[in-house]
Structure 1
Amino acid sequence: MLEQEVKELIIEVLQLEDITADDIDSNAPLFVEGLGLDSIDALELGVALQKRYGISLSADSEDTRRHFASVNALAALIAANRKK
């Protein structure tokens, strides 16, 4: 399941040692409230998405902010853009 894969990637890349994939709500915001990530986390996650899935994101794009809204939003982005 892609959502599970995204959660595991977030935990691995951001070294969230006290969190399991089951602790992350797929619909909860990733930034500020919810998981509470910051802009540095977004940058690291963006690099990981590019390496793993070949997805290129613009740092200041409104679309990127929307894609990083939740695990489900990231999973949808990956599903739509994954290189075969």
Structure 2
Amino acid sequence: MSDLATQLKQMIIDVLALEDIRVEDIDDTAPLFNEGLGLDSIDALELGLALKKRYNIHLNAESEDTKKYFQSINTLVALVEQKGTR
């Protein structure tokens, strides 16, 4: 697991107040929404704001690319590596 993946998992846990979930519980390839972590559209908005604040990433909520990036931890890592500043 990369440091960035760990950071993103911790950010998800902190931002969404997922009290019963630890970093180790989140699979890098598992879906973040629906059957995976079970996140919803409100969670996606909160994550988008957190990504903007932490990595200076500006996302278009309606974009298909944005939906693609929010599929899993691995796709979020790719997004931050491609568009983010640390």
Per the normalisation by structure 1, the TM-score is 0.97
Deviations 1:41-62 (A, max 9, x none): 0000000000000000001110
Q: TM-score normalized by structure 2?
A: 0.95
Shift of residue 83 of structure 1?
2.2
Structure 1 residues 5-20: aligned runs within 5 Å: 5-20=7-22
Secondary structure in 2 matching 1:40? helix
* Cα RMSD for the two superposed structures: 0.8
Q: Mind listing any 5+ residue stretches in structure 1 that lack a counterpart?
A: none
Match of 1:45 in 2: 47
**Structure 1 runs (4+) greater than 2 angstroms displaced:** none
Structure 2 partner of 1:60 = 62
Residue of structure 2 equivalent to 1:26 = 28
Gaps of 5+ in 2: none
Give the number of aligned pairs.
84
Tell me by how many angstroms 1:82 deviates: 1.8
The CA deviation string for residues 5-49 of structure 1, in whole angstroms up to 9 with x for no partner, is 100000000000000000000100000011000000000000000
